[in-house]
Amino acid sequence: MPAVIYEKKGRIAYITLNRPEVMNAINMEAQKGLNEAWANVRDDPDVWIAIVTGTGDRAFSAGADLKEIAALRMQAEQGGGMPEIVSPLVPMRSPEVYKPFIAAINGIATGGGLELALICDIRIAADSARLGLREVVQAVMPGWGGTQRLPRLVPFGIALEILMTGDFISAQEAYRIGLVNKVVPLDELMPTAEALANRINENGPLAVRAVKEAAYRGVRMSLDEGLRLESLLMQGLMTSEDAKEGPLAFVMKRKPEYKGR
């Protein structure tokens, strides 16, 4: 079985880390699979939204595969040279695929696993999930964006406490501080994520992507620059077929039929 399973059902893509025997730890194969999955979502016009999760009920992902990393280091020390490692640059460092991503956190999400959830736009956690960035416990630090994204999502002091202690927090605490959007029983996790995905997909897909782009780019700009960006994106939307269909359907009192163009 592949380390990452990519499936499509209707307009939804499902990206599933599939190494339950090691708590869905991210090895080189999984890194490559995540890169390919993000590119597939970006490039497939039939996909409007993606849900990211892990196999099983123990872990969303325990982060980087430390056993693989240790073996590679030993190989390098013995003169074999460090093999080329596929870096998860597409999802971790350049996540600007403007289609929405929902993380369905089905268990432990730590290290690179939590960082994977952080690049998603909306996070839903099972009530049994635990979240943390434990790199400092192993005398290293988050390297897939955790030190940058976490302080942008939760209060700065709380982010530093999570980063500096390496302690886990519960799903309920993650909800309290705004790290996750919802907490539900495990058996309701995927139905809740799918219901939210379907709700978002009722809207004009180009408009949803423009909203995401405006928000992500805008937070790196001044207010005036952000307002100009919003105006430019709005002008582009107004020429689309969907922007004509939405008001027409409203006037005709029928459900709009959006096509993403």
Beta-bridged to residue 9, according to DSSP, are 12
Tell me the one-letter amino acid at 143: G
Q: How far is CA 127 from CA 101, 122, 163, in A?
A: 20, 16, 22
Q: Please determine whether the domains at 4-201 and 205-252 fall in the same fold group of CATH.
A: no
Spatial distance between the Cα atoms of 146 and 116, rounded to a whole number of angstroms: 9
Residue of 10, 252, 27, 9 whose CA lies nearest to 18: 27
Encoding tokens for residue 7?
Answer: 């499936």
**261 residues of the chain, pLDDT tens digit each:** 899 999 999 999 999 999 999 999 999 899 999 999 999 999 999 999 999 999 999 999 998 877 776 666 676 666 655 555 545 445 665 557 899 999 999 999 999 999 999 999 999 999 999 999 999 998 989 988 999 999 999 999 999 999 999 999 999 999 999 999 999 999 999 999 999 999 999 999 999 999 999 999 999 999 999 999 999 999 999 999 999 988 888 888 889 899 989
Domain range annotation of the chain = 4-201, 205-252
Please list the active-site residues: 115, 135
Q: What is the pTM of this model?
A: 0.91
What's domain 4-201's architecture? Alpha-Beta Complex (3.90)
Q: How far is CA 175 from CA 84, 148, 195, in A?
A: 38, 19, 19
Rounded to a whole number of angstroms, the CA Rg of the chain reads 20
Spatial distance between the Cα atoms of 68 and 188, rounded to a whole number of angstroms: 33
Spatial distance between the Cα atoms of 116 and 52, rounded to a whole number of angstroms: 9
Neighbours of 99 (CB within 10 A): 21
Spatial distance between the Cα atoms of 99 and 50, rounded to a whole number of angstroms: 8
- Which CATH number does 205-252 carry? 1.10.12
